[in-house]
Amino acid sequence: MRVSIVGGGIAGLSLAWALTRRGIDAALFEQGAVPNPRSSSHDEHRITRHSYGGLSGYGAMMPAAFEAYETLFADLGIRHIHPERLVYIGRRASDWPETTARELDTLGIRHRSLSRDVLAAMLPMIRTDDVIEAFEAEGAGELFAGRIVEGLAAWLREAGVTIHEGTRVRAIDPAIGRVVTDGGQFDADLVVVAAGAWVGDLLPELKGRLVPSRQTVLYLEPPQRFAAAWAAAPILVDTGLSHGAYVLPPKAGTRLKIGDHVFTRRGHGDDDRIATEVDIAPVAAAAREAFVDFDHYRLLEAKVCYYTVTEDERFVVEPIGAAGFVVSACSGHGFKLGPLIASRLADAIAGRASIGSVSAYAAGRAPAGP
């Protein structure tokens, strides 16, 4: 069996890896380099965690997601992950802590509530005067995203996977498994579209459902008086009145990063990646609300990336035509689940599972299974 994969981000690279491990011939098509520095997957670090709060179904998937990464790391010969605690900080009332606590109890992940005084002592660089609730949980970590996609690309090349770099796919025919590029057409038994923010170009019928979203993250240098505190800090999820910020502390050569979990739902993957004041402003506002003396931090880089999002923020893994599939991560949580979702889809392609069960599983609407 031959499978063409359109897109060389974490979804496409992981699927090529999972198919190759199952003895299935995969060919990867990517408009840029592999890995592509412009892709949202090529980042310094990403959060992985067991806690998913109100996004029901995904917490139960996380043990398997961690296992999928361990399988990948074994193949790569190196673990690109830094295990870490996660601290949730709530500046507005919500059911996120209660929902997450129940989920963590089910998974056997230790957690504890934090008083404002304990939080202030633990995180002297964080504003605590308006904190309503906080808790700390184990079972989290930082995935070194850029190192992972670089390792995957090297592994695929070593395994003999056909990689078409610098090859813009202009059209697909999911009825017959055909990929059309400027250089010609390529036929396979199946074609899988994992094109991220470009998926609507290839599958116009999904444009209104899978919406590109221009997102910005800030890399910062903290003031010297907080440098040691940040180096020892846990991962932070900070929810304020107008933001849902996530903060990754500097570990193993990475930089302090903050992003805002509020989707812009604007732009196109071909747009420039030059961060404007409009891009930076909401993330800086979230940082200013969360950090003590934010104006003393130095902005090292404002990085623009693109996700594809849906209204319910759930994975879409579905058949298209008689010989095609679409895979869309539908937000930044696609990286932490990438190898797991790819492995389940590879099982369906190999005839070990039904695509219906994989679609429901990827959307967090089916039991985790074995």
207-264: per-residue pLDDT in tens?
Answer: 999 999 999 999 999 999 999 999 999 999 999 888 889 999 999 999 999 998 888 9
For residues 229 and 299, membership in a common domain is answered with yes
Domain final residue, candidates 307, 337, 354: 307
Tell how far CA 328 is from the center of its chain.
11
Q: Are 81 and 145 in contact (CB under 8 A)?
A: no
User: What is the tens place of the pLDDT at every residue in 99-124?
Assistant: 888 889 989 999 999 999 999 999 99
Q: Residue 335: which domain range?
A: 1-44+144-210+310-370
Cα dihedral 309, 314, 316, 317, rounded to 10, equals 150
CATH code at position 104? 3.30.9.10
Query: What is the rounded average pLDDT for all residues in the chain?
Result: 94
Looking at the domain assignment, is residue 18 inside a domain? yes
Average pLDDT, stretch 334-355? 96
pLDDT of residue 40: 87
- Residue 346: give its domain's CATH number: 3.50.50.60
Same domain for 328 and 294, yes or no, is: no
The pLDDT of 56-79, averaged and rounded, is: 94
Assess whether 225 and 365 both reside in one domain. Answer: no
Asked if 142 and 46 touch (Cβ cutoff 8 Å), the reply is yes
The answer to whether position 171 is within a domain reads: yes
What is the tens place of the pLDDT at every residue in 259-287? 988 889 999 999 999 999 999 999 999 99
369: pLDDT strictly greater than 70: no
pLDDT of 331:
80
Instruction: Using the 3D structure, point to which of 273, 307, 341 is the last residue of a domain.
Output: 307
Please tell me the predicted confidence (pLDDT) of residue 370.
45
Across 133-149, average pLDDT: 96
Q: Is residue 318 part of a domain?
A: yes
Residue 368 has pLDDT above 60, yes or no: no
Q: Which of the listed residues 307, 328, 362 is the one where a domain comes to its end?
A: 307
For residue 57, is pLDDT > 90?
Answer: no
Same domain, 284 and 224: yes
Report the alpha-carbon distance of residue 42 to residue 31 in Å, rounded: 15
Per-residue pLDDT for 167 more than 50? yes
Cα–chain-centroid distance for residue 249?
17
Q: Is the pLDDT of residue 69 over 70?
A: yes
Let me know whether 109 and 227 are in one domain. Answer: yes
Does 71 fall in a domain?
no
56 part of a folded domain = no
In a domain, 62, yes or no: no
Assess whether 165 and 250 both reside in one domain.
no
How confident is the model over 157-164, as a mean pLDDT?
A: 98
The whole-number pLDDT of residue 49 equals 93
Same domain, 30 and 110: no
Q: Is residue 269 part of a domain?
A: yes
Domain co-membership, 241 together with 328: no
Residue 40 CB coordination number (10 Å): 25
Which whole number is the average pLDDT over 9-29?
Answer: 98
Distance between CA 337 and CA 149 in Å, rounded? 14
Instruction: Assess if residue 15 is contained within a domain.
Output: yes
pLDDT of residue 52: 79
Sign of the alpha-carbon torsion through 357, 60, 150, 266: positive
Supply the pLDDT for residue 357. Answer: 95
Checking if the pLDDT of 53 tops 80, the result is: no
Let me know whether 302 and 229 are in one domain: yes
Q: How confident is the model at residue 95 (pLDDT cuts 50, 70, 90)?
A: confident
Query: 281 with 317, same domain?
Result: no
Percent of the chain with pLDDT over 90: 83
Same domain flag for 124 and 237? yes
Q: How many domains does the chain have?
A: 2
Say yes or no: 257 and 290 in one domain.
yes
pLDDT interval class at 367 (50, 70, 90):
low
Q: What is the pLDDT of residue 22?
A: 98
- What's the CA gap between 156 and 153, in Å, rounded? 5
| CB of 149 closer than 8 Å to CB of 9 | yes
